[in-house]
């Protein structure tokens, strides 16, 4: 039998908060509001804590758990995967992060031309043992989903001070949510796009470009406006426990980005 070096004793007395694997690319299944499931490829990070008395963790076991759930790596199975990693690696906490492209068929606003729009989405989760007063013990878990939504914004200040025209730019709004019941990526994307000057589309004909340009001009938005608008929508949703909204504009007339963030 080969010697287990990772399981040997370490005498330095220093525990490690996170140890594991990063940047693993792996196929997963994502819940799709219209088509039930969508297959994609995720960049995955997987970690556990390591007590001070162990020399190392068993990296191969992360892959063994992931392979066990092959074809079932979705938000529904996420808590099960976390618990299995924690158990197999004999840890008191486990965490997993997955980021992946998600595609939605989108129709141009006037011509109706259809094409696929890419959004970057993620799952993240942590599960850990809880040790409370009077020897109370249990399990704490936090599961989050998130999405990065490309948007178009037009500067209210530029519109106000200019005789004609106004500068606009593409931006990205990032939303992270902790929920009690499943929240669809499609719904979050719709919330964000409703708060921008205009949505972004993968395919536009000339009549669509004119419509988008005029729509943005009629709906000027600062990054502050965008995060407040999205935050207001989220706050009335009783299904959402915690959230974070970030907006970044890649400014067209400045050599820097404009940024705003709220959480609640």
- Which residue bears the tokens 């109706």? 112
- d(Cα 107, Cα 199) in Å, to the nearest integer? 11
pLDDT per residue as tens digits for the range 95-105: 999 999 999 99
Asked if residues 75 and 172 have their Cβ atoms less than 8 Å apart, the reply is no
Rounded to whole angstroms, the Cα distance separating 213 from 189 reads 20
SS3 258: strand
**Which residue shows structure tokens 């594991």?**
20
Listed as ranges, residues in the chain with pLDDT below 70 are: 2-11, 13, 51-56, 130-137
Domains of the chain, by residue range, sit at 16-263
Give the SS3 label for residue 80.
helix
Side-chain-facing half-sphere of 215: CA atoms under 13 Å: 19
Which pLDDT does position 131 carry in this prediction?
A: 62
3-class DSSP state for residue 260?
A: strand
Question: What pTM value is reported for the model?
Answer: 0.89
Per CATH, which fold does 16-263 belong to?
A: Urate Oxidase (3.10.270)
Q: Are strands 114-131 and 93-107 parallel, antiparallel or unpaired?
A: antiparallel
Over residues 120-134, the pLDDT tens digits come to 999 999 999 866 665
Q: What is the DSSP string of 178-239?
A: EESS---HHHHHHHHHHHSSEE--S---HHHHHHHHHHHHHS---HHHHHHHHHHHHHT-TT
Task: Please report which helix (H) or strand (E) contains residue 157, including its range.
Answer: helix 156-161
């Amino acid at each position: 039998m080969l010697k287990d070096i990772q399981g040997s004793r370490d005498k330095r007395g220093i525990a490690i908060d996170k140890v594991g694997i990063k940047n693993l690319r792996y196929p997963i299944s994502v819940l799709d509001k219209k088509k039930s499931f969508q297959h994609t490829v995720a960049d995955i990070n997987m970690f556990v804590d390591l007590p001070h008395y162990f020399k190392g963790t068993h990296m191969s076991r992360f892959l063994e758990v992931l392979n066990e759930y092959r074809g079932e790596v979705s938000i529904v199975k996420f808590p099960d995967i976390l618990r299995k990693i924690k158990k197999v690696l004999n840890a008191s906490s486990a965490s997993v992060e997955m980021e992946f492209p998600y595609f939605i068929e989108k129709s141009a606003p006037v011509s109706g031309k259809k094409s696929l729009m890419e959004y970057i989405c993620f799952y993240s989760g942590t599960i850990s043992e809880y040790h409370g007063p009077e020897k109370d013990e249990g399990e704490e878990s936090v599961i989050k989903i998130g999405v990065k939504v490309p948007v178009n914004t037009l500067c209210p200040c530029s519109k106000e001070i200019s005789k004609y025209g106004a500068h606009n730019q593409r931006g990205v709004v990032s939303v992270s949510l902790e929920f009690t019941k499943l929240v669809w990526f499609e719904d979050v994307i719709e919330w964000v796009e409703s708060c921008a000057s205009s949505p972004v589309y993968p395919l536009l004909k000339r009549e669509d470009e004119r419509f988008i340009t005029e729509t943005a001009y009629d709906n000027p938005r600062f990054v502050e406006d965008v995060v407040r608008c999205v935050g207001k929508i989220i706050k009335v949703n009783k299904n959402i426990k915690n959230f974070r909204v970030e907006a970044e504009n890649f400014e067209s007339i400045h050599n820097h980005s404009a940024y705003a963030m709220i959480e609640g």
